[in-house]
Structure 1
Amino acid sequence: MEGRVPTRTATFAGLGSVAYGIKDNGFSTFLLLFYNQVLGMDARLVSLALLIALVFDGLVDPLVGHASDRTRTRFGRRLPFLYLAPIPLGIAWVLLWSPTGAPSFATLLVSAIFVRGLVAACEVPSAALVAEISRDYDERTRLTRFRFVFAWGGGLLMLLLAYGVFLPNAMLAREGYRAFGIAGAILMAGCVLGSAVGLHRTIAGWPPQQASSGKGLLGSLGEIRESFSHPACLVVMAGIACAMTSQGITFALSNYLYLYVWRFTPTALQIYPVVLFGSVIGASLLAGPAQRRWGKAGAVAATAPLGMLFWVGPLLLRYFDLWAADGSTRALVAMFICTLLANMFMVTSSIALWSMVADVVEASEEQTGRRSEGTLSAGAFLASKCATGLGIFAAGLLLSYAQLQPNARPDAVPAVVIDKLSLAYAVCTALLAVATALIALRFPIDRAAHEARLALLDKLAQSDPDAGGLHP
């Protein structure tokens, strides 16, 4: 699609990411609590099952992405996945939150693997559409903005429904989680199917024939490796890995910080998701101007450290007794303002990073002769998921370093423990933000390079319609 992507198309392209947001929210916030405290499973077995499922997820993403790149139907390459996967995903999501019989490690593992695999079948092709719908440098960022708004919106909507409707006064009520699963399933399946139907007229049609290795699975793995090995792909995957490691640490420690450091009240916890969603809207508005001013790599380099400053600043001010009293109205209001700004800048940085993934498509095509939108999107998801797991692991190490004891009351935790946790978290966040910025600056594709490459590929296609890139 040339020129500006219609808002209707951008909206439906973003709508498909709701399922990913809901899945992330459920797995990160409630699943361990549900299977451990409600169903009575050993927390270590629950964590092990979720870790194995995460490893499976990371391995299956490139296969799904490559399969969608090679798919040829009259509906195009991505729509078959977006039509076939949502209903099974909805069923698997309901079963995950409504297990029959006594809960077991095997049941949880199989359910988690099915959910993650089906989400991959929806999300990887959906993310690949950013590069497929538009080749324009700025429009790809605009499409990514829509995807971020819907992904965060879906996750935060389920968080609000959980706290306000399904589990308002009974976090350990099994029936509440069953309703949570049903509502999430309806939203996930409905949004992905709605995205597919809304995009049908835009993207349906036989895709161009692409050369294949013809060597079965080994050939496919070779093509995946070749796509991932492009220098631009390696840079953006490394940037995403640093950013998502920081986010993994932050998400894993968030409840500890709210409880032991900032002393959030129940009302503050209900307001917090609204603040986060406001920050995502702010990021969506900021991403375009930031990119036009500095380019995508420059936008990451500018906003990642800014976001870090607003995360770390309150902790340092508190450490030096320059912050309002913990739990006071002044402290909570100031924390909400800092959170709004910090998350706005961090999400702006993430939008630019994920938009950079789309620009690698033509660089890879120039090298390999293949368009690999799905494979490259899967590579970004692989880096993201591995880094998130690393961040969660690092959060556990930080808690161990601070020596925060289990079941500790906030008013009974020594100040030295809180200070150690706060400062260690601040140092990790600062280092990862700086690393993200420095890695992004090594990204070899700016606006001029991207547009020159498009012109070169167009010229090659006109001179030899059967050519595929500049490779030998």
Structure 2
Amino acid sequence: MKEARSPNLPGRTECAAYALPALPLAALALPLYVIVPTFYSDVVGLPLAAVGVVLLAIRVFDAFADPLFGWLADRFSSRLGRRRGFFLLSLPLTAASAFMLFWPPGDAGLGYLGFWGALVSVGYTWTVLPYTAWGAELSDDYKRRSVIAAWRESATLVGTLLAIGLPFAIGLQTHDGVNGLAVVAVLVAVCLPLAGMVAALAVPEPIDRSTRNLRFSESLGFIGRNDAFLRLIVAFLLNGLANAIPATLFLYFVSDRLGSPELRGPFLFLYFLSAIAGVPLATLSARRLGKHRAWCLAMVLACLVFSLAGFLDHGDLYAFGAICIVTGILLGFDLVLPPAIQADVIDNDTAASGAQRSGFYFGAWSLATKLSLAGAVGMVFPLLSMVGFEPGDAANGTSALGALAILYAWLPILPKAVAIGLMWNFPIGEVEQQELRRRIADG
């Protein structure tokens, strides 16, 4: 394995090797949140309400696990390195539990779903936090951090496309024998450990810049005093909420507002496929404009383009396809730039606290992601109920379908606009980040 170092410019081979595990991790994440609930209720035959309760309990537990695993990721030590070592230890649990959850036996019940679902949740959190912290520490260079994030998020998008395409192409009608979700189970179980080993062998362990260890309570205190991080995470949470609202309503909008339920899968695939094209554009824009300004301009354009969806009605499929392409490209900016800015914000903490705590910061980051998803569900479903919208009901009137369009296209503009305001004059750019690195190097 490569010796620990902190390169300013990791090459393409190292970036590609680091990105590999993101593909099976994405193939795990999307089915966990999108396909598993429907599969266990419709195919396995478990009561829908009970499945919902079990998965909700798992997600609440998982949210509390994020900061704990982030803290542990920063305190772990082994001859393999704290990032690579903690990451490698998690892979057997994550791969095996995903296989068991995605390919259940014929007599699987709620206990089976709860047990393996909880282990997948723990394993995924354990794997992702040291993995993202590893990437944040791979380079000290302001611009190169965007490149590293771009490699990882490109692999994430490929894994997402596989997770969308395989289950529906192969079929999910039965869990006797091989089905689409079982193929994803094999993909994750085989590819995640292999990709993790390749990354650990090819990618260096960054030097730990910590000069002291902090107790859990001290870690919280320094986070609370990191104004740049608080500003970033609020903007990230609001932008995540803005993205989660249409994601929650996407299936209903295509089925009921546009009247084309058969195109839900193709439109979703088109959206994520377009995001792959957005990744290099995000990197180029960040290099020329700075990361926070490039992200802000992408959010402004997303608001303008996505607002047009509110005017679409039954049969406006080409227009919606165009919106999917443009907003998908802009999704690439949302995926690449915020975590690259997060790496700079962690420098701010390291310079102040003397402890390099990327794991703890990405634990808070993961928690914000889950809160935005939960907030979207908690907001839009009651509002839809208030206006009398019923999914798949041909009796939905003009007012109900109009309310669906407003919630889908225009409600997300409000939180996104606040996020733009928070990030436009963000206090850490390239010059400020270089000064932070000098302070850290001087100890």
1:456 aligns with 2:436: no
Counterpart CA distance in 2 for 1:82 and 1:454 is 26
**Secondary structure of residue in 2 paired with 1:145:** helix
1:388 aligns with 2:373: yes
**Secondary structure of residue in 1 paired with 2:173:** coil
Output aligned runs, 1:80-95, within 5 Å.
80-95=85-100
Question: Out of 269, 282, 293, which is 2:288 matched to?
Answer: 293
Residue equivalent to 1:148:
153
Residue equivalent to 2:216:
220
1:250 aligns with 2:246: yes
1:211 aligns with 2:212: yes
Q: How many residues align?
A: 438
Output aligned runs, 1:110-125, within 5 Å.
110-125=115-130
Contact 2:14 2:202 in 1 (8 A): no
Indicate how the Cα distance of structure 1 residues 453 and 222 shifts in structure 2: closer, same or farther if over 3 A, else same: closer
Output aligned runs, 1:344-355, within 5 Å.
344-355=329-340
**Secondary structure of residue in 1 paired with 2:290:** helix
Output aligned runs, 1:54-73, within 5 Å.
54-73=59-78
TM-score normalised to the size of structure 1? 0.86
TM-score normalised to the size of structure 2? 0.91
**Secondary structure of residue in 1 paired with 2:182:** helix
Output aligned runs, 1:437-456, within 5 Å.
437-441=420-424, 443-456=426-439
Residue equivalent to 1:425:
408
Contact 1:314 1:335 in 2 (8 A): yes
Counterpart CA distance in 2 for 1:443 and 1:206 is 28
| CA shift for structure 1 position 434 | 0.5
Question: Out of 399, 403, 413, which is 2:388 matched to?
Answer: 403
**Secondary structure of residue in 1 paired with 2:78:** coil
Indicate how the Cα distance of structure 1 residues 31 and 136 shifts in structure 2: closer, same or farther if over 3 A, else same: same
1:374 aligns with 2:359: yes
Counterpart CA distance in 1 for 2:421 and 2:333 is 16
Q: Which range moved further: 394-403 or 96-105?
A: 96-105
Matching residue's letter, 2:69: V
| CA shift for structure 1 position 14 | 1.8
| CA shift for structure 1 position 68 | 1.6
Structure 2: gaps (5+ residues): 1-5
Q: Give the percent of matched residue pairs that are identical in Structure 1 and Structure 2.
A: 19
| CA shift for structure 1 position 110 | 2.3
Note the alpha carbon deviations across 1:186-231, whole angstroms, 9 max, x for none: 3365235424423434324885664224xxxxx2343244335411
Structure 1: gaps (5+ residues): 214-218, 320-325, 462-472
Matching residue's letter, 1:276: Y
Contact 2:157 2:276 in 1 (8 A): no
| CA shift for structure 1 position 406 | 4.8
**Secondary structure of residue in 2 paired with 1:174:** coil
Residue equivalent to 1:259:
255
Counterpart CA distance in 2 for 1:314 and 1:237 is 28
Matching residue's letter, 1:152: L
Matching residue's letter, 2:239: A
Question: Out of 216, 231, 235, which is 1:235 matched to?
Answer: 231
Residue equivalent to 1:271:
266
Contact 1:122 1:192 in 2 (8 A): no
Indicate how the Cα distance of structure 1 residues 209 and 407 shifts in structure 2: closer, same or farther if over 3 A, else same: closer
Residue equivalent to 1:303:
298
Contact 1:35 1:41 in 2 (8 A): yes
Counterpart CA distance in 2 for 1:44 and 1:254 is 22
**Secondary structure of residue in 1 paired with 2:408:** helix
Contact 2:134 2:206 in 1 (8 A): no
Contact 2:30 2:163 in 1 (8 A): yes
| CA shift for structure 1 position 112 | 1.6
Counterpart CA distance in 2 for 1:384 and 1:96 is 23
Note the alpha carbon deviations across 1:108-138, whole angstroms, 9 max, x for none: 2222211011011111111011221101111
Indicate how the Cα distance of structure 1 residues 183 and 379 shifts in structure 2: closer, same or farther if over 3 A, else same: same
Counterpart CA distance in 1 for 2:392 and 2:178 is 24
Residue equivalent to 2:167:
162
Counterpart CA distance in 2 for 1:199 and 1:289 is 28
Tell me how large the CA RMSD over aligned residues is: 2.4
Indicate how the Cα distance of structure 1 residues 345 and 176 shifts in structure 2: closer, same or farther if over 3 A, else same: farther
Matching residue's letter, 1:349: D
Contact 1:398 1:421 in 2 (8 A): no
